[in-house]
Structure 1
């Protein structure tokens, strides 16, 4: 059975070799990203997901922050150079989406529905995962490559200060995207018998 949707999901891959050769404008991509986050489902329609979208020098500044924060953790000069090269490969992209979850919303729901209080932080993580997947897939459909990174919580304080992000927004992931300069390699899948059980 063929599926256009499954084919689109297959197109969404982790692409590390990205560049700035993008035909879409920042305005077009902003609209795409905002739409993808907005229509992503969330528990109780809580809409906890938030995003900061960075282009140009703002995108570069984020990866400069990452480089600065990671510097003290380098065990050697060689390790520092390898880390810098990795961060530079992300900075070579066209933009970055910083994904957050609004903890004020989570806490309000916990207060409103105490029976489910323990579940709302978990459902919030579900929401951000779906939002990240939606944006990533939407970018892939436009022919753009991306990779999901996690430099939180090391960068949190500087991010909140630089872009005046509300303190209730908790940084969960960073999706860097751009033109595909080299394709992803072949992806291997484990035997389905180890992953699925079907009862009829």
Structure 2
């Protein structure tokens, strides 16, 4: 199968909410993709503050059982809980794996102390760094035929994740990306006029 061009991957990257527990590439290839993205993603002051946890197999399933446990505690009614449970089961737990994105607060605090003039900016730049890692991961998975979506169940699940996988409390959870072979087609997407959003001066 021909690898997609970068432009094709950008165009085809969408949120997929019906995932199967299958992958067209090996676990080792997935690991390599994650490692290469984290290694080569740019960051302000070359801070390299992004941290990633890859969960596969039973570890992936364990994450979404944790999510369900936490969501059940805050569900307002049995009916609301059933809808939530069905969504998690079919959209996230059903997938092949999950990528957890973190930012290391010790790195950010160190830079704030080292460069006080920019102290307030480092937390913002940290978000930029994480966003770059997230989108490059998404594009790389898309390029290999894996569908994904980006979820945000933090801070609801933070403490449970820290305990289950012995994650440092200095690692701040940013987002979760379940992935697998997509079973659905993405919803139609509307686009604002590019002319409104991009200005070119020659």
Give the TM-score category using the shorter length: over 0.9
- Post-superposition Cα deviations, 1:71-127, rounded to whole Å, max 9, x if no partner, equal 122122111100001111200000001100000000000011111111000000000
CA distance, structure 2, for counterparts of residue 23 and residue 194 of structure 1: 39
| Structure 1 unaligned residues grouped into runs of 5+ | none
The alignment yields a C-alpha RMSD, in angstroms, of: 1.4
Equivalent residues in 2 for 1:132-171 (5 A)? 132-171=134-173
- Post-superposition Cα deviations, 1:140-178, rounded to whole Å, max 9, x if no partner, equal 000100000000001000000100011110000000000
CA distance, structure 2, for counterparts of residue 192 and residue 98 of structure 1: 32
Match for residue 172 of structure 1? 174
Match for residue 122 of structure 2? 120
Shift of 1:199: 4.0
Match for residue 195 of structure 1? 197
Q: Secondary structure at the match of 1:50?
A: strand
Alignment length, in residue pairs? 198
Shift of 1:44: 0.8
Q: Does 1:43 align with 2:51?
A: no
Q: Is the 8 A contact 2:24 2:144 kept in 1?
A: no
Q: Is the 8 A contact 1:98 1:173 kept in 2?
A: yes
CA distance, structure 2, for counterparts of residue 21 and residue 167 of structure 1: 32
Equivalent residues in 2 for 1:9-28 (5 A)? 9-28=10-29
Match for residue 70 of structure 1? 71
CA distance, structure 2, for counterparts of residue 101 and residue 130 of structure 1: 12
| Structure 2 unaligned residues grouped into runs of 5+ | none
TM-score, normalised via structure 2 length: 0.94
Q: Secondary structure at the match of 1:119?
A: helix
CA distance, structure 1, for counterparts of residue 152 and residue 129 of structure 2: 16
TM-score, normalised via structure 1 length: 0.95
CA distance, structure 1, for counterparts of residue 25 and residue 200 of structure 2: 43
CA distance, structure 1, for counterparts of residue 93 and residue 18 of structure 2: 11
